[in-house]
Amino acid sequence: MCGIAGYLSKRDAPEPVGRIMLDMLTSLARRGPDSAGMALFRSEPAHRDACWIRLPETGDAEAHAQRILAGLATVGKVGEVQRHHGLLRVELATVAEPGAIRAAVERGSDEVEVVSLGKQMELVKQVGHPDGLAANIDVDGFRGSHAIGHTRLSTESRVDLTHSQPFWARGIADVATVHNGHITNYHKLRRHYEQRGVRFFSENDSEIIGVYIADKLDGGLSLEGALEASLDELDGSFSYLVASGDAIGFARDPFALKPLITVETDDYVAIANEEIAIRAALGGAGIAHEPSGHVSRVWRRTDSAAPVAVAS
Amino acid sequence: MSSVSAARASVEIDASERPVREINGAIRTALAEGTTVAVRSPGARHNLGVALLTPGTVTFGGSVGYYCGGMGDGATVRIDGSAGWGVGEGMLSGTVIVDGNAGNSAAASIRGGTVVIRGDCAARAGISMKGGRLLIAGDAGYMTGFMMQKGFIAIAGNAGDALADSMYEGTIYVAGEIASLGNDAVVEAATEEDQAMLEAAFAEFDLPRPGAFRRITAGRKLWNFETHELETWRAAL
């Protein structure tokens, strides 16, 4: 019974999206406090990429970090470096493709993983209640345009950083997913992708959604198209959110098995499993609406008019 | 926390910072005293106004979460906002009126009374209804009226896929489009008496006058197992 939340501001000026996401996730933590995370977006790309890397849980962290930085130096110019518990954040000036950056970092270790890459996105996660996000990482001070977040109830896989959400749509900069539900054709899809050389880091079925979205975007589909295709190609129960550099969107399984509420005002779009999270974070404005099943929708920062709903 | 007006005719409860059990206790006490209740700042919390067993009116000044008005017997529950899953579920009698939209399973298993949704319903509204009325002024989502047994659902807007799937009995009326019918659902024109009854019901709650309804009932093919209808059963199960 995970909690998922999303927020997209329609205003030009930066918003305290870190604080908003924290308030939403704190409200949803009743649904599961095993781990929590969020993908925060600034409205304009920074000059350099922010690369978030999961460090091995064992061994000398400093030695791991030095080895990772040496790897990154082969694909770009390393800037500021920060440690946030199990994660390393590295600013990188590079023209290398995400795949090459991943290869430079992940080569030679099964325990090192690039969890996020992009000029707009900061993807942070941790084990435990969402409260810890404010304590361990300064999400409270983050101002930007949009965000998605997750608080987890572990049902079928381990509770550790590797299995925590959000999941980066690996290989596509500035795209991340959060999922509530259970993807029942996970093993079949995973075999399909592994045969094509895709590497998985966890046993969490939600990881497949990031891989799936990355594959669809890589194949030329729009975010709207990728979400719509997933309604028929993913099996099981799912309400999941995707965020990209200028958009957030949701997809809901045909049986509408997992809750999903949207509230849209002139100033923002907010999405959560339960309306209580939206009210706790943003007050009483806007009318809550729960879509039916087999529905996906995307809101873009650049939309001037009301976005088109995709339903079939 | 509570303020009682001079005439003791109405009481206001501020729901913020109070446990749900305490809020519901205060509502029950007020209704037992014949007092109308207004609940401020419900904050879309769950289980508000459940098991209200005396007549009287409680109004929630904003959205509510899951199961609001559930297991009621006689009270009128007004929601000035949207409602989460299972609004009014298991109600015996009384009225639940949602000004906004309703989440999944609105009026699930109600045995009597009326649930009114001014906006849209998500999936499975009226699932397993055993009596009563569900009036939906907007659209209804996937599998509305699933395994319904008695009573009626009236949808002024459009109905989603698998409408009236595996109904036993009861009636569903739809004025708008039907995306698709569920197993063993049969469509026919509503009678003039049906139409007049439904227009009166919508007028009773100040809902916009609906268009011409069609009537959906069970084909009763699923009542008894027939080997030569195996395909129908495969689809239903």
Assess whether B174 and B76 both reside in one domain.
no
Confidence category of residue B228, pLDDT binned at 50, 70, 90: confident
Confidence category of residue A176, pLDDT binned at 50, 70, 90: very high
Assess whether pLDDT exceeds 50 at residue A305: no
What does each C-alpha distance from B189 to A273, B5, B141, B193, B214 come to in angstroms? 39, 51, 21, 11, 5
Answer yes or no: do A278 and B141 touch at CB < 8 A.
Answer: no
Answer yes or no: do B123 and A256 touch at CB < 8 A.
Answer: yes
pLDDT digits (tens, 9 = 90+) for A69-84: 999 999 999 999 999 9
Backbone dihedral angles phi then psi of residue A133, each to the nearest 5 degrees: -65, -40
Assess whether B146 and B41 both reside in one domain.
no
Domain assignment of residue B139, yes or no: yes
Least confidently predicted of A33-37, A300-304, B165-169, B202-206:
A300-304
Report the mean per-residue pLDDT for chain B: 94
Q: At a CB cut-off of 8 Å and minimum separation 6, what does B29 contact?
A: none
Domain assignment of residue B225, yes or no: yes
Query: Residue B8 has what pLDDT?
Result: 56
The residues of B whose Cβ lies within 8 A of any Cβ of A are 43-46, 62-63, 65-66, 81-82, 84-85, 100-104, 119-120, 122-124, 141-143, 160-161
Q: Look up the pTM and report it.
A: 0.94
Assess whether B90 and B114 both reside in one domain.
no
Assess whether B187 and B82 both reside in one domain.
no
Selected residue with higher pLDDT from B228 and B17:
B17
Contact A170, A18 (CB under 8 A): no
Residue B142 has its nearest CB partner, among A276, A288, A293, at A293
Assess whether B153 and B52 both reside in one domain.
no
pLDDT digits (tens, 9 = 90+) for B173-211: 999 999 999 999 999 999 999 999 999 999 999 999 999
Assess whether pLDDT exceeds 90 at residue B234: no
Report the mean per-residue pLDDT for chain A: 94
Instruction: Give the distance from residue B121's alpha carbon to the nearest chain A alpha carbon, in angstroms.
Output: 8
Taking residues B50-72, what's their average pLDDT? 98
Least confidently predicted of A145-149, A246-250, A302-306, B172-176:
A302-306
pLDDT digits (tens, 9 = 90+) for A86-137: 999 999 999 999 999 999 999 878 899 999 999 999 999 999 999 989 887 8
**CA neighbours closer than 13 Å in the CB half-sphere of residue A229:** 15
Residues of chain B above pLDDT 70, percent: 96
CATH 3.40.50.2000 fits A3-44+126-311, yes or no: no
Assess whether B81 and B128 both reside in one domain.
no
Answer yes or no: do A293 and B123 touch at CB < 8 A.
Answer: yes
DSSP string covering A102-169: HHHHHTT-SS-EEEEEESSEEEEEEES-THHHHHHS--TT--BSEEEEEEE--SSS--SGGG-S-EE-
Residues of chain B above pLDDT 90, percent: 89
**CA neighbours closer than 13 Å in the CB half-sphere of residue A49:** 25
Assess whether B15 and B69 both reside in one domain.
yes
Taking residues B55-59, what's their average pLDDT? 97
Instruction: Write out chain A residues lying below 8 Å of B120, CB-based.
Output: 289
Residue A146 tokens read as: 């949009």
Confidence category of residue A291, pLDDT binned at 50, 70, 90: very high
Residue A284 has its nearest CB partner, among B62, B119, B160, at B62
Domain assignment of residue B167, yes or no: yes
Q: Which long-range contacts (CB under 8 A, 24 or more apart) does A208-211 make?
A: A208/A183, A208/A234, A209/A167, A209/A177, A209/A179, A209/A183, A209/A234, A209/A238, A209/A240, A210/A166, A210/A167, A210/A168, A210/A169, A210/A170, A210/A175, A210/A176, A210/A177, A211/A169, A211/A170
Assess whether B135 and B19 both reside in one domain.
no
Boundary of a domain, candidates B94, B122, B147: B94
Assess whether B222 and B122 both reside in one domain.
yes
Answer yes or no: do A288 and B101 touch at CB < 8 A.
Answer: yes
Domain assignment of residue B166, yes or no: yes
pLDDT digits (tens, 9 = 90+) for A22-74: 999 999 999 999 999 999 999 999 999 999 999 998 888 899 999 999 999 99
Q: Where are the domains of chain A?
A: 3-44+126-311, 46-119
Assess whether B203 and B148 both reside in one domain.
yes
Boundary of a domain, candidates B27, B59, B94: B94
Backbone dihedral angles phi then psi of residue A47, each to the nearest 5 degrees: -70, -35
The parent domain of residue B186 ranges over 110-237
pLDDT digits (tens, 9 = 90+) for B118-157: 999 999 999 999 999 999 999 999 999 999 999 999 999 9
Residue A279 has its nearest CB partner, among B63, B85, B120, at B63
Query: Which listed CATH number (3.30.70.2730, 3.40.1010.10, 3.90.1150.10, 3.40.50.150) goes with A46-119?
Result: 3.30.70.2730
Assess whether B30 and B130 both reside in one domain.
no
Confidence category of residue A307, pLDDT binned at 50, 70, 90: very low
Selected residue with higher pLDDT from B22 and B236:
B22
Q: How many domains does chain B have?
A: 2
Instruction: Give the distance from residue B92's alpha carbon to the nearest chain A alpha carbon, in angstroms.
Output: 26
Domain assignment of residue B101, yes or no: no
Least confidently predicted of A136-145, A282-291, B157-166:
A136-145
Confidence category of residue A306, pLDDT binned at 50, 70, 90: very low
Assess whether B128 and B187 both reside in one domain.
yes
